[in-house]
Chains A and B, each alone.
Chain A
Amino acid sequence: MSLRETVAVQAVTWTGISEPNDAAGAMADMLAFSIKGFAALRGELAFEDEPSSFEAALQETKEPTR
């Protein structure tokens, strides 16, 4: 099954959304770049990492007061 077909099945199954046009299908095929990107990052997520750490990181990383 092509990536475009996989996305089509997943979208209609999970969210009830059908492929609206050929451009959408082409862009679904381009998710291959993202998949490759995520595959290369496997193992980098730490067990304790969580989304709420971002606001804390903004504070921790800000410019020191002069």
Chain B
Amino acid sequence: MNKPVQGSLLHLSLTEAAAAVKDGSITSVALTTAALEAFSRVDKVINSSIWLEGAVALEAAEELDKKRKSGAKLGPLHGIPLAHKDMYYKAGKLSTCGSSIRKDFRPAYTATVIERLEEAGSVTLGGLNMAEFAQNPTGHNQHYGHCRNPWHPDYSTGGSSSGSGAAVAARLVYGALGSDTGGSIRLPASICGVTGIKPTQTRVSRYGVMPLSFSTDNVGPLTQTARDAARFMAVIAGHDPKDPTSAHEPVADYEAALTGDLSGMIIGVPTNYFFDGIDADVQAAFDQVVLVLKERGAVIIPVTIPHIDAIATYGGIVSRVEGGTIHGEWMRRRPQDYAVHLSGRLYPSQGIPAVYYVEGLARRGPILKAVGKEVFGLCHAFITPTLRKTVPTLLSTDIDAGTPGAIELFQDMSINTRPINYLGLPSVSVPCGLDPNGLPIGFQVQGRPFAEARILAIADAYQRDTDWHRRLPPNVS
């Protein structure tokens, strides 16, 4: 198969590719070969992967093609090549967590989400680049090389699921697991121009997933389209006996909810916090989003998010303290093995009083209830920009290089995403424009707990009238 044809295979969405495999017009081997070829060519620039197992993946793809020919029942991801943030455990396989400390770590057990994705017929290509221990919003990684934005390699990919965002944007894979503790799925989704969903807290099992913050960690996919995300979510969502914190809530038929019709849908736009200091280019892109959603039948209303100062304050403490706690032993014994920005970030949590941490957790439920009443009592969902600022360069956010102002920029990147983790709400980031530097802009849709179908329906309706999610970075063929 020649290169242009292979390239076009990878331009299909996940659901389009799955349909083609199912009807026999494309083989899993062809898709997997195309993906591996694309990695070998493009990853020299963007560095989105940490390790790949091409031969193993091709062997799996051959078996899946045989299964299809046998007439056996096929899973919803049959034959689809995926790769995941390198923090999802698979027994005997490398899982570096983007770190030097775990550079040789091979877990003895497999994450439930990996089991579910492979049972659904997907092919796992390998582990994707990520922030060290999932703890930066920029894409920097001193140990495996910085991940670079496919739209321009001097710019941040967003993080911490940097490789997931970059690989999906560069059309190297049809989808990738990320994780989101303060924005780590939505930031790279927005910055790389793809769709990324952070599910409701407890919606997806975290068994076999590297921990960062047990109160705010979430597992979710980055994909080209909202429909792809719906397909992906249907496979990974649902209670897992191995993760007692996972919800027993039934899993909705996410794809069935994608009707394109927003008639009667009331969507809120916050009047406080989320637009403070916003860049004009981001505001302009967001204003166009509102117009598209109105055209689709939605009613747009202003809403005020209650307790926003508390949400921002507590949201900044809970995950830091939990991260600082689980990294305590390594911070004592081998602090030199962390990048400067990470040990710098973990360290101050040692000085935060436990009473403040408990206060943050204790008020979480009452504040969520207030948001439920005062926001979702008025609207079905609310939308905000994913980031307030246009995409920064890697250099401007490089704390390790000592760039002046990098710490402030670094911490501001998650200012619109982190509050959503504190509230535990589902949130999907959707591409909605390009800034003057040619880098993507995104907006995020939030719904009530377990309203993944609702927010994906809004994202899908928006994508029916726009093509930002279909646009390709320069030099992607």
Residues of A whose CB lies within 8 Å of any CB of B are 6-7, 10-11, 14-21, 23-24, 26-28, 30-31, 34, 37-38, 40-41, 44-46, 49-63
Q: Is the interface of B mostly helix, strand, loop or mixed?
A: helix
**Which partner residue on chain A sits nearest B424 by CB separation?**
A58
Q: How far is the CA of A21 from the CA of B1 in the complex (A)?
A: 52
| Smallest CB gap from A41: residue in B | B310
A16 to B317, CA, bound (A): 21
Total contacting residues, chain B, CB less than 8 A: 54
B450 A26 Cβ-Cβ under 8 A: no
Q: What are some 7 contacts across the A-B interface (CB < 8 A)?
A: A7-B351, A19-B347, A20-B336, A52-B365, A54-B201, A59-B249, A63-B454
Given A26-B407, A61-B449, A63-B451, verify A17-B366 contact (CB < 8 Å).
no
Option from A20, A26, A40 in Cβ contact (under 8 Å) with B335: A20
* Cα A59 to Cα B361 with chains together (Å): 17
Q: Is B155 an interface residue (CB 8 A)?
A: no
Distance A54 CA – B365 CA, assembled complex (angstroms)? 4
Could you tell me if A11 and B347 are in contact, using CB atoms closer than 8 angstroms?
yes
The residue from B215, B309, B347, B368 contacting A58, defined by CB atoms under 8 A apart: B368
Please determine whether B202 and A58 come into contact, CB atoms closer than 8 angstroms: yes
| Chain A to chain B: the 4 pairs with minimum beta-carbon distance, closest first | A53-B365, A7-B351, A37-B313, A61-B372
Q: Is the CB of A7 within 8 A of B350?
A: yes
Contact A40 B407 (CB under 8 A): no
Contact A49 B344 (CB under 8 A): no
Q: A28-B348, A37-B309, A61-B376 are in contact. Are A21 and B366 (CB under 8 A)?
A: no
Q: Which of B288-342 contact A (CB under 8 A)?
A: 309-310, 312-313, 316-317, 328, 331-332, 335-336, 338, 340-341
Find A10's partner among B202, B215, B351, B362 (CB 8 Å cutoff): B351
- Chain B interface residues toward A at CB < 8 A: 200-202, 215, 247, 249, 309-310, 312-313, 316-317, 328, 331-332, 335-336, 338, 340-341, 343-345, 347-348, 350-352, 356, 358-359, 361-366, 368-369, 371-372, 376, 380, 399-400, 407, 411, 424, 447-451, 454
Q: Which of A17, A37, A41, A51 contacts B328 (CB 8 A)?
A: A17
Do A17 and B350 have beta carbons less than 8 Å apart? yes
Question: A21-B343, A49-B366, A61-B376 are known contacts. Are A34 and B449 too (CB-CB below 8 A)?
Answer: no
Given contact pairs A11-B351, A40-B309, A54 touches B356 in the complex (Cβ within 8 A) = no
What CA separation (Å) do A55 and B331 show in the bound complex? 31
Q: How far is the CB of B48 from chain A (nearest CB, A)?
A: 26
Are A41 and B309 in contact, with the CB atoms below 8 A?
Answer: yes
- Contact B310–A55 (Cβ < 8 Å): no
Q: Which residues of A contact B411 (CB under 8 A)?
A: 30
Residue pair B359, A54 in contact (C-beta under 8 Å): no
**B348 contact set on A, CB distance < 8 A:** 7, 24, 27-28, 30-31
If A38-B313, A49-B366, A61-B371 touch, whether A17 touches B247 (CB-CB below 8 Å) is: no
**Which B residues touch A61, using CB under 8 A?**
368-369, 371-372, 376, 448-449
Chain A contacts for B376, CB-based, 8 A:
61
A11 and B310 alpha carbons, distance in the complex (Å): 25
Within 8 Å by CB of A15, from B328, B359, B361, B380, lies: B328
Question: Is the pair A45, B371 in contact by a Cβ cutoff of 8 Å?
Answer: no
CA of A57 to CA of B352 in the docked complex: distance in angstroms? 26
| Complex-state Cα separation, A42 to B216, whole angstroms | 24
Distance, CA A46 to CA B341, complexed state (A): 36
Q: Least Cβ distance of A3 to chain B in Å? A: 8
Instruction: Say whether B407 contacts A62, CB under 8 Å.
Output: no
Say whether B449 contacts A21, CB under 8 Å. Answer: no
A6 nearest CB neighbor, chain B only: B351
Instruction: With A10-B350, A61-B369, A62-B448 as known contacts, state yes or no: A34 contacts B313, CB within 8 Å.
Output: yes
Q: How far is B338's CA from A33's CA once the two chains are assembled, in angstroms? A: 25
What is the distance, in angstroms, from A2's C-beta to the closest C-beta of chain B?
12
- Known contacts A49-B362, A49-B363; is-contact A20 B347 (Cβ 8 Å): yes
